[in-house]
Amino acid sequence: MAPTVLVIGADGGIGRAVVDRLTADGWSVTGTDLPEIDLSRGGVVADHVAQLWDGQGGFDALVHAAGVFPAVPVVDSDEELFDRVMAVNTRSALSAEAEFVRRCRTEGRPGTLLFVSSGAATRARLGTAVYAASKAALDALVRGIALEHGRDGIRCCAVAPGFVDVESAVNPVPRSYVDALTRASVRGRVGRPDDIAVVLSWLLGPDAHWVNGRTVPVDGGDGIGTPTAPNWLT
């Protein structure tokens, strides 16, 4: 029988790539996204996961690949922006994983949780303070979940992409920004959704069974620095 996975954010750029990759790898994939579920609304995510669990007979894994990426200076950020970003990027992940863990424990079955974090959690960029805070909180959740539920047979990890060009209508990014990141990148290009999906697929597989509670950088090396930074070499 094929292993089963629920992908939240299945219609986003990375989410679509994850669905395609896992399907190709033999997983039975259930995807959900807007308008089926609005992750910014409180009190709906756990119920939605529960309904899908009951409808599909449970899942072996859950991938949370949804998120919003606003570019707002700190002085222009307000509580409404903070609450919306934290709700979508972090609170919804907590609600989904909590319901997933409750179901696994009730049925005595193991499970794997994977989240899409960001290199922004540890590397500041102009205009991303609120987004970065949401991803840093997500990384903390990964560690907490793994610690509290490792002995329940639950494994939890995340990937931390650098910039990934998904051409999103929800999170539009100016082409000039993408071009600038391309010029500054270690590999000479920005990330693609498939670059992230392949690592998520590996983390779900048996070869990654001893990786737990960790956020894995998947950024082509951009987190280490940039070759276009000022230097004194001639």
The domain that contains 89 carries what CATH number?
3.40.50.720
Structure letter (DSSP) for residue 89: I
The answer to whether residue 196 sits within a structural domain is yes
In which domain, by residue range, is 189 found?
4-211
Is the distance from CB of 164 to CB of 222 less than 8 angstroms?
no
Is the distance from CB of 190 to CB of 182 less than 8 angstroms?
yes
Structure letter (DSSP) for residue 164: B
The answer to whether residue 217 sits within a structural domain is no
The answer to whether residue 43 sits within a structural domain is yes
Query: What pLDDT sits at residue 170?
Result: 66
Query: What pLDDT sits at residue 199?
Result: 98
User: Residues 189-209: what's their mean pLDDT?
Assistant: 97
Compute the C-alpha angle 173/83/16, nearest 5°.
Answer: 45
Share of the chain above pLDDT 70, in %: 98
Query: What pLDDT sits at residue 97?
Result: 97
Confidence of residue 218 (pLDDT cuts 50, 70, 90): very high
Number of domains in the chain: 1
The structure's pTM equals: 0.95
The answer to whether residue 180 sits within a structural domain is yes
User: Residues 68-89: what's their mean pLDDT?
Assistant: 96
Q: Kindly report, residue by residue over 90-118, the tens digit of the pLDDT.
A: 999 999 999 999 999 999 999 999 999 99
- Strand 61-64: give its sheet, edge to edge: 28-32, 4-8, 61-64, 111-116, 154-161, 215-218
Whole-angstrom Cα distance, residue 40 to residue 3? Answer: 29
Classify residue 191 as left (phi > 0), alpha (psi -120 to 50) or beta: beta
The answer to whether residue 121 sits within a structural domain is yes
The answer to whether residue 234 sits within a structural domain is no
Which of 211 and 124 is assigned the larger pLDDT?
Answer: 211
The answer to whether residue 192 sits within a structural domain is yes
| Nearest residue to 212 (alpha-carbon basis) of 144, 165, 121, 125 | 144
Is the distance from CB of 95 to CB of 136 less than 8 angstroms?
no
Burial class (CB in 10 A: 0-12, 13-18, 19+), 122: middle
Whole-angstrom Cα distance, residue 156 to residue 112? Answer: 6
**Residues counted in the chain:** 234
Whole-angstrom Cα distance, residue 4 to residue 8? Answer: 13
Is the distance from CB of 66 to CB of 43 less than 8 angstroms?
no
User: Residues 70-99: what's their mean pLDDT?
Assistant: 97
User: Residues 171-180: what's their mean pLDDT?
Assistant: 85
The answer to whether residue 28 sits within a structural domain is yes
Query: What pLDDT sits at residue 229?
Result: 87
